[in-house]
Amino acid sequence: MPEARLKTGMEEFDRALGGGIVARSLILLGGDPGIGKSTLLMQALGALARLNERVLYISGEESPEQLKLRADRLGILADNFLVLAENRFETVLSHIDESQCSVVVVDSVQSIFSPSLDSAAGSVSQIRHVTAGILDVVKRGAAACFLVGHVTKDGVLAGPKVLEHMVDTVLSFEGERSHPYRILRASKNRFGSSSEIGVFEMGDRGLQEVANPSELFLSERPEGVSGSAVTALVEGTRPILAEIQALVTGPAPGQGRRTWLGVDSQRLALMIAVLEKKLGLALADQDIFLNAVGGVRASEPAADLAVAGALLSSFMDRVAGSRTVLFGEVGLAGEARRVSNAEGRIAEAARLGFTRIIAPKANVEAAAPGRGLKLVAITHIKELASLLFQEERGFASGAEAGPVTKRTQGEKKLEESAKPGTRLRVGPNIRELRKRKGLSLPKLAKLTGIAASNLSSLELNKSSPTLNTLVRIAAAFNMKLGAFLDEVVYEKAVVRRRGQGRKLKTNIPGHAVEILAGDEPHHTLEARLVTIRAPSKPLAIPSRETDLFVYCLEGELTVQIENSGYTLKAGDSLYLLASAVARFANSGTGAVRLLLFGAPLT
C-alpha cells in the first residue's frame, strides 16, 4: 500500500525524503551545529503552512523572540504556523498529541529534558527516552514529526547515532559553514529510496533550492589548471556533474600522505595502485590530496576515470580538456568498465555545454548518437593520458618517458586477459604470496576476517574478489594493493640487461629512476639505478622503514644529512640509516649515476 505523502513544494526537500513526508513517520535530521537545520525545517513548515497545513515548531533551544526573528527573516507569517519555545519533555509530548497538526518539528532532541530521569539533558538515556516517547505519540496520532539532532565531529554528543534505528528516516544536512552549499541526504528511509539528495544554498533569506546542482558544483571550477577533471555522477535518479581535484606533490620524506574528501578511500587506493602499475607513475612517495568539490560524494565506481584523470593531470602538470567529462569504472588490470545510467550522464554533460565525453567503450557503443558532443571510447587506463591531454600526444614528463600508446607485447597480452569477463590471476597470486609469508588459510582468515572457504575459492580462481576483500588481504600481507595486479612469475634468478629495468616516471626534471630489482612481490631486496642529469638543487630522499645503501657510479653527489654534508664521487658509497633525513644534489658538472639498495617499499 503506498503511503500518503505530504509535499512541501520545496522540491529538493521532498526529493530527499523520497517524494514527500509520510504521515505518522518519525524523521531524524542530523547535522553539525550551525549548518542550517533549524532554518531548513522552519522553511519547510512555512511552505506547508502556506498550503494550509497546520504545523507546529517546538524549540527547546531558542527563545520566542529568537524564533520570531528567524521566522521574519524567512518571511513566514501564517496563523496555522504554531511556534512553541519549550524544553520540558512531558509538555512537548502533550502539545504534539493535542495540536492537531499534520507536521511537527522538535528542535532539538538534545534540548528536551525529562525530570523523571536522573541524568542530564542531552545524555544518551535522556535522548533515548525523549525519542521513544515522541515515537509513541507519533505512531498513535496523525502527525509526522521531525526530530533535530546535533552531531559533533568528535562524536562527543553521540546522540543521533543511538537514535538511528528507532526512527523511520534519517536525514543529514551536510556542508561546510564557510561555504553556502548544503546537501540534504537520506541515509535510511523506511518509506523510499535513500539515495536521492536535495541541494540548497544558504543566503540572507534562508535556504534557496538549487535545481541545477551540476552548475553549482562546477561554478568555481578553475580553467586551465592541472589536477582538475569533471565527472558525471548519478545521485539517486539524478545525474550530477562534479569536479574532482587532485594535488600530487613530492617526493616527500617517507611514504607519501594521502588525504581525501568526498571520494571512496579504497577506490582511491586502487586508482593509485593502477596508475603505478599500469602507467609506471612513481606515486609511493608523493603526497596526494583528492577532493570532490562542493561537498558532493563521488564514491561510485563511475568516478574512477575522473579520479585517475585528476591524479594524472596533477602529477604530469598537464591541463585536462576543460570541456571534457569523464566517467567509467577502472578495474584491477586498468581496464575501463561500463557503468549504468550512461545516457543520463551524457545528457547532463550535453546540457551543460560540455563537448567531449571519455567513457568506457561499451558505454560509448551503446549510446544513442547526436546531442552535438563527441563520445570518445576508452578501453584501458593507458589510453587516458593521450585522450585527456589531447593537444600533446603521450606524456613525456622526463625525457625517459616514452609515448604511452606504444605498448609492449606483454602489456598487450595482459590487457587482453583483463577484458571484462575474463579473470585475472589474482587468486593464484594470493595463494603464492600467502605461502611465501608462511600463512595457513585459517590464519589468513583470522587476519582478514574473511571466511577460509571464501579465501580458498578465491585462491582457486573460482570467485573474483571485491575491492574490499583485496584491501584486507593486502593489509594482512603488509603489501601494496598493486602487488596482486600483475602476473607474478617466481623465477629463481632474474637477469636484466642494460636498460631493461622498469623505468619510473618522475616529475623531477632530469631525474630518472630505473628499478633493477625488487618489483616482484617476493623480492626482499630492491635495487634502483638513479640518474641525475645536470647539477641540481638538493632533493629530499624519502626516509624509509629500512636502511639504504648508495654506491656512486659516476659524477659528483653531495649528500646533506642533518647538519653534515658529504661529497661522493665514483666508487664512493654511503650507508644510510632508515631514520636519517637526507638530501641529494648533483654538485658536479656532468651527470650523476647512483646504485641504491634497500628493502622494497611495501
Q: Which spans of this chain sit near ligand TYD (rule: CB under 6 A)?
A: 31, 33-39, 70, 73-74, 202, 204-206
If the CB atoms of residues 62 and 400 are measured against ligand TYD, the closer one turns out to be 62
- Least Å distance, CB 34 to ligand TYD, is 5
Please identify, using beta-carbon distances, which residue of 171 and 303 lies nearer to ligand TYD.
Answer: 171
70 binds, among ligand TYD, Mg ion, none (CB under 5 to 8 A by kind): ligand TYD
Site for Mg ion in 35-64 (CB under 5 A): 38
Q: Which CB sits closer to ligand TYD, 111 or 286?
A: 111
State which residue, 206 or 360, has the beta carbon closest to ligand TYD: 206
C-beta closer to ligand TYD: residue 75 or 442:
75
Smallest gap, in angstroms, from Cβ of residue 56 to ligand TYD? 17
| Contact indicator for 298, 330 with CB cutoff of 8 Å | no
Nearer CB in complex with ligand TYD: 201/520: 201
Sign of the alpha-carbon torsion through 94, 95, 101, 107: negative
- Residues from 11 through 40 that contact Mg ion (CB under 5 A): 38
Q: How far apart are CA 484 and CA 469, in angstroms?
A: 12
Nearer to ligand TYD, 66 or 265 (CB): 66
81-85/26-31 β-pairing: unpaired
Closest separation in Å from C-beta 35 to ligand TYD: 4
CB neighbour class for 98 (10 Å; exposed up to 12, middle 13-18, buried from 19): exposed
**Distance of closest approach, residue 202 Cβ to ligand TYD, in angstroms:** 5
Taking residue 69's Cβ as centre, other Cβ atoms within 10 Å add up to 12
The CA distance from 84 to 418, in Å, is: 64
Non-local CB neighbours of 123 within 8 Å, separated by 6+ positions: none
What, of Mg ion, ligand TYD, none, does residue 31 touch, CB below 5 to 8 Å by kind?
Answer: ligand TYD
Give CA–CA dist 336/338, Å, rounded. Answer: 7
Compare residues 108 and 286 and give the one whose CB is closer to Mg ion: 108
Task: Report the phi/psi class of residue 193: left, alpha or beta, with left for phi > 0 and alpha for psi in -120 to 50.
Answer: beta
Q: Which of Mg ion, ligand TYD, none binds 250 (CB below 5-8 Å, type-dependent)?
A: none
9 binds, among Mg ion, ligand TYD, none (CB under 5 to 8 A by kind): none
In angstroms, what is the minimal distance from the CB of 72 to Mg ion?
16
Binding partner of 550, given Mg ion, ligand TYD, none, CB within 5-8 angstroms per partner class: none
Distance of alpha carbon 268 from its chain centroid, rounded?
6
Q: Which does 205 bind (CB under 5 to 8 A by kind): Mg ion, ligand TYD, none?
A: ligand TYD
Min separation Cβ 112 and ligand TYD, Å: 15
Pick from 154, 160, 155: nearest CA to 172: 160
Closest approach, Cβ 286 to ligand TYD, in A, equals 38
Distance CA 161, CA 287 (A): 33
Cβ neighbour number for residue 136 with a 10 Å cutoff? 13
Q: Which of 295, 178, 199 is nearest to 243 (CA)?
A: 295
Query: C-beta of 546: minimal distance to Mg ion in Å?
Result: 53
Which residues have C-beta within 8 Å of that of residue 418, sequence separation ≥ 6? 331, 332, 333, 334, 335, 380, 424
**Contact positions vs Mg ion (CB under 5 A):** 38
